[in-house]
């Protein structure tokens, strides 16, 4: 399979994973899970970090895709395959974990989020694990471009702190996001990268 077909396949897999997530979001939004205690969140009131968490996340998601589309198409293919895996994993876990968000949580109020929420492309009960943390962590680990690597990794920690401050994720969600981002990176390095790089 040539590199162009691999890129097309990676885009199709991301689309399929996103479609499966659509149904998972529709499912998790049909019930209100029970909020639980959290050692960290119980120590401070929510803080509105909406602008940083919302628009910062969009930048952290879009920037690496643009950079790799311009600089390294094989890396883009590789990252899209890994993203599909991460989306599938996250979808699996949000369906399994029926923990409700905390009532004091400050949710994204941007028009982008509200539009995506109405179309079931995002949900409020999709807590475990945090995509806000997992995706930037994974993108940062993939990058060989030093400024992009550090921008994404630092961004992952900014998302970790921001989502905790807003009480939109539990501690376990954000720390698991770091672990899943790293795990998918390692899996992809040894299993997907060699296949993508072979002609």
Token output for 29 = 């939004």
Lowest mean pLDDT among 73-87, 95-109, 129-143, 168-182: 95-109
Non-local (6+) Cβ contacts of 91 within 8 A are 17, 20, 21, 24
Q: Please tell me which residue, 194 or 122, carries the higher pLDDT value.
A: 194
Q: Please tell me which residue, 113 or 92, carries the higher pLDDT value.
A: 92
**Structure confidence by residue, pLDDT tens digits, 11-45:** 999 999 988 988 887 787 777 778 889 999 999 99
Contact criterion met (CB below 8 Å) for 68 and 79: yes
- Confidence band, pLDDT 50/70/90 cuts, at residue 79: very high
pLDDT in the model for residue 30: 78
pLDDT in the model for residue 27: 81
Mean pLDDT of all residues in 107-112: 65
Residue corresponding to tokens 């930037």: 136
Q: Domain residues for 18?
A: 3-197
pLDDT in the model for residue 120: 52
Residue corresponding to tokens 């659509």: 22
Beta bridge partners of 34: 99
If one counts the domains in the chain, the total is: 1
Q: Please tell me which residue, 178 or 113, carries the higher pLDDT value.
A: 178
Token output for 101 = 């968000």
């Amino acid at each position: 399979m040539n590199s162009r077909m691999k890129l097309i396949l990676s885009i199709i897999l991301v689309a399929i994973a996103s479609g499966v997530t659509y149904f998972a979001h529709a499912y998790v939004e049909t019930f209100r899970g029970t909020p639980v205690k959290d050692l960290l969140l119980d120590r401070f009131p929510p803080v509105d970090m909406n602008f940083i968490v919302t628009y910062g996340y969009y930048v952290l998601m879009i920037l690496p895709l643009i950079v790799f589309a311009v600089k390294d198409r094989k890396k883009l293919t590789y990252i899209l395959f890994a993203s599909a895996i991460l989306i599938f994993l996250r979808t699996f876990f949000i369906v399994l974990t029926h923990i409700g968000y905390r009532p004091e949580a400050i949710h994204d109020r941007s028009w982008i989020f509200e539009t995506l929420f109405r179309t079931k492309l995002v949900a409020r009960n999709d807590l475990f694990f945090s995509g806000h943390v997992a995706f930037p962590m994974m993108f940062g680990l993939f990058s060989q471009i030093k400024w992009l690597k550090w921008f994404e990794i630092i961004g992952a920690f900014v998302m970790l702190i921001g989502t905790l401050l807003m009480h939109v994720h539990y501690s376990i969600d954000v720390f698991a996001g770091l672990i899943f981002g790293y795990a998918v990176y390692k899996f992809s390095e040894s299993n997907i990268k060699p296949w993508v790089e072979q002609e």
